[in-house]
Structure 1
Amino acid sequence: MRRKQKPLVNLLFFAAVLFAILFLNHSHSPEKAFAWTRIRYKSSAASLPPARGICPGLSPAKPALVVARIHADVDPEWLNTISDRYHLCVYTADAPEDSGSVDLQVPANRGHEAMAFLTFIIDNYDTIPAAGAVFVHGSRFSWHNDSPDYDNLALLQSLNISAALAPVGYHNLRCDWSASTCEQSKAPPQGSLETSFRAVLQPYDPRVISDSALPRSLAVLFGGDAPEAATTGGEVFLGRGDAVRSQCCAQFVVARENIRRHTRDEYIALRQWLLDGAPSHLNPRQRTLNKNAAPRDDRVAGRIVSYLWHILFIQQTVSADQGRDASTIDLQQLNHLACPRADDCYCRLYGRCNLPGCGTPGRCAGQYRIPPDFKLPADWAASHA
């Protein structure tokens, strides 16, 4: 009799485990409010970096084009083609520190494009153009540029900034969802058990590791030194079933007013979060290791910040019947605003309207596809420039 009961016991045990996993991953409160409206991280650095990222000559009427590049990128001369339309602010992250240089510099080559973007905001906070700012990477041709030829120059030439900013004051430059977390079926919640298990099984994958690290990073950044005890009017921890949906690749346009929703000190704190987690040779100002700082792996730290831009910049609406404070964020609304339909996006941002093949919300056939292994052929720039 005992042998006959064993399969039943195993089945019941498996069902219980499966139920527990589904229960823990279920979002019990779909209308959760998150206190992600103010950076509260406290740095333990002895001093702050000097301001060497002041972009000269910024004027209200001309949008700034903030470019984060490294020496391995192609020569930035391609930007000269659009210098009449944008005020160029080019940061070379791996340039040697030189206090006498007139070139725009960052405190450290850390966090990928985030260090240049934050340095621009911090050092030019009072002179950000009323026309807005566009933030891009330094390579003209790259797999993440949402163009049939992966050409960022073509995107920047056709970008309609006023139309892009009209809905909420911020817009990612990508329209296709294929490299995003917008599709629920392709991107599990960052705090889910599935993501945690994958991080254990795939410690070499920076995407999985950064997704797994995102819940605690958000809690530290927005909750301060003791996020577990934070009483800020909303959640700071991302729940098991709560997902941050957003576009890929940290290239975006944002209005001055949306940048100034946060104080300069908040951007300094976010940059210090990156610097505090850097190796000592990159951040000599850090006296002691800060356990709440950004992950040491630069690929992971940079990708976590790429999740933050739309959280910081999207302006949400609060209706009287929502029952939440204006100082909190509605995650469902945020996810919806961060992932507009591809056809609407292409039309509004780039004037590519009435496109064929837009049968799904996240794709219009013929507009973009991920190249094999996320890499362009070595001769792509030479053959398409």
Structure 2
Amino acid sequence: MLTSRPVVLSLATFIYLLVLLVIRDGRFLALTPINDAPQPSDGYRHDVALVVASMKKEDTSRIQKYLPGCLIFIHASSFAWHNDDPGYNALPTLRNFRISHLQEAGYANLRCARVVGCPAEIRPVEDEGRAKNGALTANGVFRQAWHKLMMPEEAPVPEVVAVSCCSQLGVTRETIRNRPLEDYVRFRDWLLRTPLEDSLSGRVLGFSWHIIFGKEAVHCPSAQECYCKTFGICDSACSEGACDGRYTLPPHSTLPEDWPRVGWENEERNFTGPLS
């Protein structure tokens, strides 16, 4: 069960850190000392929001003092099509999340259903330049982005990248600190300078977090293993990619406006739980 003390469900406690990672549509925003805030004509994209801290650059003691042992990165909305719950509700996901598993693994995806993302979502070399209806796709730009994000002389471009979507995850303090601060600065600068549309840069990062936090490029545990270890749901009938009664891919990538009270056919769903 979820315990509140070691876990951050929002990223508010990062507000004074030198680097702030905030998941939003697969992307992160970075916290920058106020004296280093990007100025016009510096090559940065100024249509991207940037959180600025009022702390001195050399004072990083808050990283040691306030970074909690376990963190959960999750979207702001309670209901989303990708939430791994029969009603697409984030609340049961958080209530059932096993902190002990995160502490052991260092990183844990909040989604176990393998549809969308596994077993082989992106083939960076093979997919390079791929377009759909005349527009570039994230698959088509991933290899180029990798050269900017991951320093390929140290981390060669993988043949296949796969993880169950969609940028909601748990990570430990130790896993975050396994990377030097310079890496997170590089990720931030790429996001602020890239000419890619938000939908592309977000998807690139969405399929990079598991690698950033120490997992293999293909991170697709079986559904049965994932549900049991991550949520303590161990008695469901499962195939390799799904377990009965857990998640059904919805007909659209957005939920109905009045969900969870009203379904796709305007039917009443008799939902009585909290809405936020």
TM-score by length of structure 2 reads 0.73
* Aligned residue pair count: 233
Give, in angstroms, the shift of residue 62 of structure 1: 2.5
Take 2:181 and 2:195, find their aligned partners in 1: how far apart are those partners?
23
Residues 140 and 151, structure 1, Cα contact 8 Å, conserved in 2: yes
AA in 1 matched with 2:230: L
Within the candidate set 165, 170, 174, 1:253 is matched to 170
User: Structure 2: which amino acid aligns with 1:365?
Assistant: D
The percent of aligned pairs where both chains have the same amino acid is 30
Structure 1 counterpart of 2:119, from 171, 183, 208: 183
Can you list the C-alpha shifts for 1:21-59, whole angstroms capped at 9, x where unaligned? xxxxxxxxxxxxxxxxxxxxxxxxxxxxxxxxxxxxxxx
Gaps of 5+ in 1: 1-59, 68-87, 92-101, 277-293, 316-333
Query: Does the C-alpha gap of structure 1 residues 274 and 111 become closer, same or farther in structure 2, counting only changes over 3 Å?
Result: farther
2:229 corresponding residue in structure 1:
348
State the SS of the aligned residue for 2:115.
Answer: coil
Match of 2:27 in 1: 114
Q: Unaligned stretches of 5+ in structure 2?
A: 33-51, 54-61, 263-270
Task: Answer yes or no: is 1:202 the counterpart of 2:83.
Answer: no
SS at match of 2:10: strand
Work out whether 1:307 is the aligned partner of 2:207: yes
1:215 aligns with 2:143: yes
> Deviation per CA, 1:76-130, whole angstroms, max 9, x where unpaired?
xxxxxxxxxxxx6599xxxxxxxxxx9x9x99x99745234x449x976334545
Q: By how many angstroms is 1:362 displaced?
A: 1.1
Q: 1:161 to 1:203 in 2, by over 3 A?
A: farther
Higher helix share: 1
For 1:189, the aligned partner's letter is R
Change (3 A) 1:142 1:90: farther
1:354 CA drift (Å): 1.4
Map 1:46-57 onto structure 2 (within 5 A).
none
Amino acid at match of 2:232: G
Find 1:269's aligned residue among 175, 182, 186.
186
- 1:162 deviates by 1.6
Quote the offset at 1:136 in angstroms. Answer: 0.2
* Aligned structure 1 segments of 4 or more residues deviating by more than 4 angstroms: 88-91
Q: Please report the RMSD computed on the Cα atoms of aligned residues, expressed in angstroms.
A: 3.3
Which amino acid in structure 1 is aligned with residue 133 of structure 2?
Answer: Q
Residues 218-274 of structure 1 deviation map (CA, whole Å, 9 limit, x = unaligned):
112222xxx6xx4x4x53x44xxx111112110000011000011223212211111
Q: Distance in 1 between matches of 2:23 and 2:98?
A: 31
> 1:23-38 alignment to 2 at 5 Å?
none
Contact 2:25–2:202 (CA<8 Å) still a contact in 1? yes
Given the superposition, is the C-alpha separation of residues 190 and 381 from structure 1 closer, same or farther in structure 2, using an over 3 Å criterion?
Answer: same
Is 1:170 the counterpart of 2:117 in the alignment?
no
Q: Deviations over 1:134-191 (max 9, x none)?
A: 000000000010000000011111111221342x3101100001111x224xx46232
Task: Tell me the alpha carbon deviations over residues 339-366 of structure 1, each in whole angstroms, 9 at most, x when there is no partner.
Answer: 111111111222211102x12x111122
Checking the alignment, whether the CA contact within 8 Å between 1:62 and 1:129 is kept in structure 2 is no
Tell me: CA distance 1:119–1:173, structure 2 relative to 1, closer, same or farther (3 Å): farther
Q: 1:364 aligns with which of 243, 259, 264?
A: 243
Q: What's the CA shift string for 1:287-312, capped at 9, x where partnerless?
A: xxxxxxx2430110111111221111
The whole-number CA distance in structure 1 between the counterparts of 2:248 and 2:14 is 28
1:126 matched to 2:64 = yes
Would you say the 8 A contact 1:63–1:134 is kept in 2? yes
SS in 2 for 1:162: helix
